[in-house]
Chains A and B, each alone.
Chain A
Amino acid sequence: MRYMMLVKMAPDAGPPPVALMEAVEGEIRQQYADGILLDADGLGPGLEIRLTAGEVTHVDGPFAEAKEVAGGFSLFEVRSHDEAAELGRRMVQLHEELWPGQDVAVEMRPLVGPPAPAE
């Protein structure tokens, strides 16, 4: 089963410490060597187009008012929900250890996949 990991934090968090970036790179190398990482990339500020009560608005990033934004994603092929949870736990742990004081939210979202063949 496939899981997308989104690492989210405050939009004004600034660049992560070098030690954290190196640790995350090591983690990515390991996931790649384990054959479970299918895709990964960072996400830029971009723009948001929102429909609220019938009104369309555009917001160009960075999204200063947002509570948290995703800075990147990884796509995994794992064998269970628990394996996905473990990957997420490790990512949070690296932040706790190497970026003290910074809040972070790691989302692990299962990909639903295409529908079954038409009956």
Chain B
Amino acid sequence: MSSGPLRPDPEEAIVAVWRNESVRLLAGLARMTHDLDLAEDLAQDALVAALEQWPHEGIPRNPGAWLMSIAKRRAIDGFRRDEVLRRKVALVGHELEEGEMPDLAAAVDYIEDDVLRLMFLSCHPALAPDSRTVLTLRLVGGLTTAEIARAYFAKESAVGQRISRAKRTLAEGGASFELPVGEERAARLREVMQTIYLVFNEGYAATSGPSWTRPELCLEGMRLARMLAALAPGDPEAQALQGLLEIQGSRLAARADAEGSPVLLEDQDRTRWDQLLLRRGLAAVDRAKALASSGTPGGSYLVQAMIAACHGRARTPDQTDWAEMARLYDVLAAAAPGAVIEVNRAVAHGRAFGPDAGLAILAAIPDGALAGSHLPAGVRGDLLHRAGRHVEAAAAFEEAAAATANAEEQELLQKRAAACRNDDSSSDA
């Protein structure tokens, strides 16, 4: 035990404060300047000032307001010096000169609008999905370029370039800093949700790097989803996205074994599911359902979240409500048709109504729709096996094994093929 100053290293303390304040600071500055680069520069200036002054003077009572007043002062100085800049963003000078800094604590709604505006910008449709994710993590998540690069196993310089290119694209395209309304707002919200989903998903099933999951990206995705759900409390899809990610996130610890290999849902030790996240996720799904039944219709995130909730409520795989699951996959397939959803629908129908029901759905998937994927053959093998058609099942598992490049999956599928052949010879005897 030791006592003394709260944090012996003032720089670490300042970075922590910065983490808490930078999004709101940047969001407010972006609204005032209508210029992301300038807003970031001003925010950085404020950070530098904090690093100079706080070690001597201590952290001010309201660090957010302190940082904002410094940034605004710098902005006003800059505008006074630079006539061109001043003319370019004439309205800005007005807003900056408006006088007193609003009390941050009293102006939460105002600030929330700013943060939502920043989310809309960083998930702008003019940007490629990869750029949206890094820009969102940087501007809304408050991560440094180095942290983003580490999370994605990318080079820091590459991430940095992607961020500056994205900002340039927004500036040159004249991206609006105004909050969209009506149908455009709904469409832009969907872009934001998709970006958050991408961040989470890269953490949930990493497409590169040494490990199968990257929990830190899942945590960022969940945090962003909570932020969005708080910003759009009346939107069932925003609540559903939070629920979906928290329910999926609750399985993270159960999702890999001690060697880091994937453990599929049915084989997971459900006592390792994070009960707090699961409970929060189920509550978010309930909120989304209530909103959807009282007017604003839900969409595919709500259906996906309800599917996740259906798994989440089952204490053991046997307790899964497969009839409900089959119904939900029917809804999902109607709303967002696709071969991957059909494969999942086949699994659900196979469990709910018998293997033949599942096999019929698989048979209807056009040839080549999932070329190169082991998924349809693997599911077909499982359904055939359940139907007692062991020879055909073994052939399907072998087909699946040949289709995957992952050594562990290959081994698992070969084992299942061998088990089917074994079942066949024992049933002959």
The contact of A77 among B17, B106, B115, B223, by CB within 8 Å, is: B223
* Minimum distance in angstroms from B219 CB to a CB of chain A: 7
Q: Please tell me if B187 contacts chain A, counting CB pairs below 8 Å.
A: no
Chain A residues positioned under 8 Å from B225 (CB to CB): 35
B12, CB-defined interface residue at 8 Å? yes
**A34–B108 CA distance with the chains assembled, in angstroms:** 11
Q: Are A33 and B16 in contact (CB under 8 A)?
A: no
How long is the Cα–Cα vector from A36 to B230 in the complex, in angstroms? 11
Asked if A65 CB lies within 8 Å of chain B CBs, one says: no
A contact residues, total (Cβ < 8 Å): 29
Task: Return A34 CB to nearest CB of chain B, in Å.
Answer: 7
In the complex, A23 has a CB within 8 A of chain B: yes
Query: Is B371 positioned at the interface, with any CB of A under 8 Å from its CB?
Result: no
Most buried by A among B13, B16, B23, B256: B16
Chain B positions within 8 Å of A82 at CB level: 7, 12-13, 15-16
Q: Contacts A33-B227, A35-B225 hold; do A93 and B108 have CB atoms under 8 A apart?
A: no
A38 on the interface (CB 8 Å rule)?
yes
A83 to B6, CA, bound (A): 12
Say if the beta carbon of B272 comes within 8 Å of chain A.
Answer: yes
Nearest CB of A to B391, in Å: 36
| Number of residues of chain B lying within 8 A (CB) of chain A | 33
Within 61-109 of A, Cβ neighbours of B (below 8 Å) are at 75, 77, 79-80, 82-83, 85-87, 89, 93, 97
A118 within 8 A of B: yes
Bound CA–CA A3/B73 (angstroms): 36
Q: Which of B59, B222, B224 contacts A89 (CB 8 A)?
A: B59
Smallest Cβ distance from B141 to chain A, in angstroms?
10
Tell which of A32, A34, A86 touches B13, judged by Cβ atoms closer than 8 Å. A86
Interface residues of B in 226-242 (CB under 8 A from A): 226-227, 230-231
Residues of chain A at the chain B interface (Cβ within 8 Å): 23, 26-27, 29-30, 32-36, 38-39, 75, 77, 79-80, 82-83, 85-87, 89, 93, 97, 114, 116-119
A-B contact pairs, 7 of them (CB 8 A): A23-B105, A26-B108, A35-B230, A75-B276, A85-B7, A89-B6, A117-B257
A-B complex: 5 closest residue pairs judged by Cβ atoms: A35-B226, A82-B16, A35-B223, A86-B16, A35-B227
